[in-house]
């Protein structure tokens, strides 16, 4: 479920609104805003096909990374949701619209926002951008956008409510 080791940077963390951002013991900058949460990732060679273009299924991996970092930005951990509360969030629907290719060594931005909370159903929205073109010029280009829908369940796949601390944090983020 976790992030990508030292290769990710998250653009905001709740609980430290003006101070430096720390992730995996490294400082990456200051919190910009609460929503959307932005995670930076450099495209690895292993994520590309023979043409150096990112294989389509990797966008869903990046969506997960954005979702995990969104929770982390709220001071919450996906792993604690499972271990402490017995909740899992299976994906029941996933969609991605591809606009332009990501390529090997691109630095991409994953924007993640909570989009819906209704009962035990959660929906997250994602936009993936390339911040600079191949010449290094600043030019934010939308590469893909999508959403995932999840149902909060116990380990037997019975629906259950999202723990109140998680629900309140996501609702507050959506209200911004």
pLDDT of residue 140: 87
If residue 97 lies in a helix (H) or strand (E), which one and from where to where? Answer: strand 91-98
Residues 155 and 142: their CA atoms lie apart, in Å, by 37
Cβ–Cβ under 8 Å, residues 63 and 94:
yes
The structure's pTM equals 0.79
- Work out the average pLDDT over 4-33: 38
Domains of the chain, with CATH numbers?
5-175 (3.10.129.10)
What average pLDDT is seen over the chain? 83
In angstroms, the CA 70 to CA 49 distance is 28
116/124 Cα distance (integer angstroms): 7
CA–CA separation, 13 and 28 (whole Å): 11
- Which residue from 152, 140, 139, 157 is spatially nearest to 71, judged by alpha carbons? 152
Percent with pLDDT over 90 in the chain: 72
For residues 83-92, give the mean pLDDT: 96
User: Does residue 18 have a pLDDT over 50?
Assistant: no
Which of the residues are catalytic? 49
Chain segment 126-169, per-residue pLDDT in tens:
999 998 766 666 678 999 999 999 999 999 999 999 999 999 99
CA distance 68 to 73: 9
For 20-61, how does the pLDDT look when each residue is reduced to its tens digit (9 = 90+)?
343 433 223 333 436 789 999 999 999 999 999 999 999 999
Residues 6+ apart with CB under 8 A from 136: none
Question: Which pLDDT score is estimated for 35?
Answer: 74
For residue 22, list its beta bridge partners: 27
25's tokens = 């013991």
Contact of 131 with 109, CB cutoff 8 Å: yes
Sequence-separated (6 or more) residues with CB below 8 Å from residue 57: none
């Amino acid at each position: 479920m976790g992030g990508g080791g030292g290769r990710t940077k998250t653009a905001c963390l709740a609980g430290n609104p003006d101070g430096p951002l720390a992730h995996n013991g490294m400082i990456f900058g200051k919190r910009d805003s609460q929503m959307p949460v932005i995670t930076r990732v450099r495209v690895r060679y292993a994520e590309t096909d023979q043409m150096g273009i990112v294989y389509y299924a990797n966008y869903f991996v990046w969506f997960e990374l954005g979702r995990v970092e969104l929770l982390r930005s709220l001071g919450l951990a996906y792993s604690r949701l499972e271990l402490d509360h017995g909740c899992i969030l299976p994906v029941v629907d996933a969609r991605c619209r591809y606009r332009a290719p990501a390529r090997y060594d691109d630095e991409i931005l994953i924007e993640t926002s909570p989009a819906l909370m209704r009962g035990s159903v959660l929906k997250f929205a994602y936009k993936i951008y390339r911040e600079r073109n191949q010449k290094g010029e600043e030019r934010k280009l939308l590469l893909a956008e999508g959403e995932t829908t999840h149902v909060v369940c116990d380990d037997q796949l019975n629906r259950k409510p999202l723990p109140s601390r998680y629900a309140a944090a996501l609702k507050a983020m959506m209200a911004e």
